[in-house]
Every structure is written in C-alpha cells, then in structure tokens.
Amino acid sequence: MPTYHIKHVTKYSYPSPVTDSANQIILSPPSDAYQEIIYHEIRITPNTSIDNFYDYFGNKVGVFSIIHPHTELTIVVEAEVVTKSVLPPSDFWPAKQQWQGMAKLNDDIAYLDFIKPGVYRSLKVIKDQVEQLVDKEMTVFQVINKLSSFVYNLLTYKKGVTDVETDIDEIWALKAGVCQDFAHLLIEMLRIYHIPSRYVSGYICPMGNELRGIGATHAWVEAYIPDYGWMGIDPTNNCLVSDRHIRIAFGRNFNDCTPVKGTYKGSSAHTLAVAVIITNEKIRAEEETEVHDHIYVKEIEEPITVVNSYQKFIEMQQQQQQQ
C-alpha cells in the first residue's frame, strides 16, 4: 500500500485590488475502501475561515469569502494518502445476463444522472462510431475497455487547445485535448450504450514521468458494472484505476467537480497558476516554490472596450467568475 504526500497550490494574481471574493472549493479527497486520508489541510491567503458541506453526490465542498481588497489569492492543499490496489472485474457473468442487469438501471433513480447522453450536434456521428466498435455480445467490462482504448488512440494529448468550457462537439472536431476532454468523450460514448458513467477528479501519482496528467489535477471515468460496482478507468493513460489514482470528487461532468470557482468585484484580468507535487516522501517547505516543471499558468486579459463612465461603473459592480 503506497503512501503519497501531496502539495497542491492554486494562486490567482490580479493587476489591481479586488474585493468581495466569494469562492467554492472541492479539494478534499475522501477516505473510502481504496484510499485512506492520513492528513489533510487547506490554507487560504489572505487568511480566512472555510465552511464545509456535502453536495448532492457526497463530495465535501468548502466555501469562503474575502471582503477586503487583495491582489492575490492563494489556496494551498497538503495531504498524506495511503492507497490500495483495486481488483478488476472477473467477468464471471455471461454478457447477456450482464446487459439484462444493466437494463434494469434505466429506471433506477440512483443512476439516472449518469445514464442519459448529452445533447450535441455530433451525437449521431459518435453513436455510429460506437456501434461499429462494440456490441452486446461483448461483456460490459469489454465494452468499457474497448471504448476507452478508442478514445486514447483517437485524441492527441495536447495542452492549451481546450478549456473547461470546451464541449463534446469541439473535442470531436479537434481530436485533441487534456484529461478532462478524454473523460468527457468516454462518458458520452458509454452513456450512448446506457452504461452509467461519472466524471472523477483527483490526482495521478507518478513513478517517473510516463503518465499523462502529472503536475496538475487529473480526471478519469467511473463506469458501473452489474455485480461489481463502479469501476475506474483512465482513458488519458489507457489503464484501469488502481493505487496510483487518488479520488477527490465525482459528478456528471467537470462542472460538478470544479476544484476552485468563485466571483469577485474588480478587473476581470487575472493570472491563474496551479502546481501539484506528489511524492512518496514528505515534501519540504521550500519545495512549494520548486514547481516550474509542474505548473499550469493561464492569463486572462481584460477586454479593451470603449464605454461611458456609467457603463464602466456597472461593469465594475458585476461579479467576474474566476476561470
């Protein structure tokens, strides 16, 4: 059972002071059958308290506000986690019996949020592709693996071509993206076959640099298999989820698991920097700044528009969502 030490730093920088910052964070991995949280702490700068609640899916959600003016917001998460290996399904039951069990889930309220496909222009094209790849002579486990391998080979892992708002049509057209895009596409393909599928956010733990998604939060898919339960599969790396994945939250899609989101009053321009360090040894305090090879940076510029003074006043009162 490996032990991982995690430091996850999120930093927003603003060109001028902002106020009334209200934020929601989903950054607390749960203890469950496959991971034990030994230690977990979240620190906010400027200093403020965090109120917690559990959402519809059971994810731990934190909320906090910073009223006074500030030019930086930093969220530091530190955790120690012990993970356990996951046994894959044995495929003991015949395919026909598995699909009969799967059909019963269509009327089960516990799975409805994870079965219904989305609405998008390329649905028919993707459905035709799925039907060419799989059929119900295959077991549910075989279908999940087949579609995950297809997504892995179809999409090119490329940073910067998509963002959190990129939809399925854009992913299908680009044939490229990062872990959240791989996960979203696989989820839609599985839901076409009425396999309950949910989006999972978390971390992937390195043993080198051979895996995609190291140095930031990661995303994968959990699909439901009758007589087994929820099985994690990582289409970005074409592997089953085991003791190198740490789950933070799950939901229907990325929006249900967004690590940090919020609003504030002030300039819409800002810089977002995110860094994740994961190691088998305790992380030294000075390593917080040693993240140049593991950092994601996004700069948002304020739009240049010509407005009158009243329009400018109104815009400054609007709460700008942090991306």
pLDDT above 90 covers what percent of the chain? 62
Q: What phi and psi values does residue 153 have, to the nearest 5 degrees?
A: -80, -25
Average pLDDT, integer, range 208-229: 78
DSSP assignment string, 29-47: PPPBTTEEEEEEEEEEES-
SS3 content of the chain, % helix, strand, coil (to 5): 25, 35, 35
CA proximity to 259, closest of 322, 166, 177, 194? 322
- For the cut 80, the answer to whether the pLDDT of residue 301 exceeds it is no
* pLDDT score of 210: 54
- pLDDT of residue 151 exceeding 90, the answer is yes
Amino acid at 135: D
Q: Span 251-273, mean pLDDT? A: 91
Residue 37's nearest CA partner among 168, 163, 203 is 203
- pLDDT at position 127: 92
Contact, 26 vs 59, CB < 8 A? yes
pLDDT for res 107 = 85
pLDDT higher than 80, residue 73: yes
- Residues 122 and 129: their CA atoms lie apart, in Å, by 11
- CATH topology for 95-241 is C8orf32 fold (3.10.620)
d(CA 46, CA 68): 9
Task: Quote the pLDDT of residue 165.
Answer: 85
pLDDT value of residue 290: 46
Q: 123-133 and 140-154 are packed helices; what angle lies between their axes, rounded to 10 degrees?
A: 120
Instruction: Among 3.30.1360.120, 2.60.40.2250, 3.40.50.12780, 3.40.50.261, name the CATH number for the domain at 3-83+258-321.
Output: 2.60.40.2250
What pLDDT does residue 55 have?
95
Mean pLDDT of 301-317: 50
- Element spanning 152, H or E: helix 140-154
What mean pLDDT is predicted for residues 279-286? Answer: 65
Residue 295 is predicted with a pLDDT of: 58
Contact by Cβ (8 Å): 77, 41 = yes
Q: Is the pLDDT of residue 318 over 80?
A: no
| Span 257-273, average pLDDT | 90
Whole-angstrom CA distances from 156 to 121, 153, 204, 220, 236 are: 21, 8, 19, 16, 9
CA dihedral 135, 141, 145, 148 (to 10 degrees): 90
Q: Tell me the pairing of strands 176-177 and 156-157.
A: parallel
Q: Is the pLDDT of residue 320 over 70?
A: no
What is the token pair recorded at 276?
């994740």
pLDDT of residue 283: 61
- Using CA atoms, how far residue 144 sits from 22, 139, 164, 276, 279, in Å, is 39, 9, 24, 29, 31
**What residues does each domain of the chain span?**
3-83+258-321, 95-241
Q: Nearest Cα to 216, choosing from 183, 250, 178, 269?
A: 178
Q: Which two tokens stand for residue 77?
A: 């998460």
Q: How confident is the model at residue 93 (pLDDT cuts 50, 70, 90)?
A: confident
pLDDT score, position 321: 44
Are 7 and 77 spatial neighbours (Cβ–Cβ below 8 Å)? Answer: yes
User: 299 is written with which tokens?
Assistant: 């700069």
Mean pLDDT to the nearest integer, 188-201: 95
The region, left, alpha or beta by phi > 0 then psi within -120 to 50, assigned to residue 77 is beta
Token pair recorded at residue 318: 């609007």
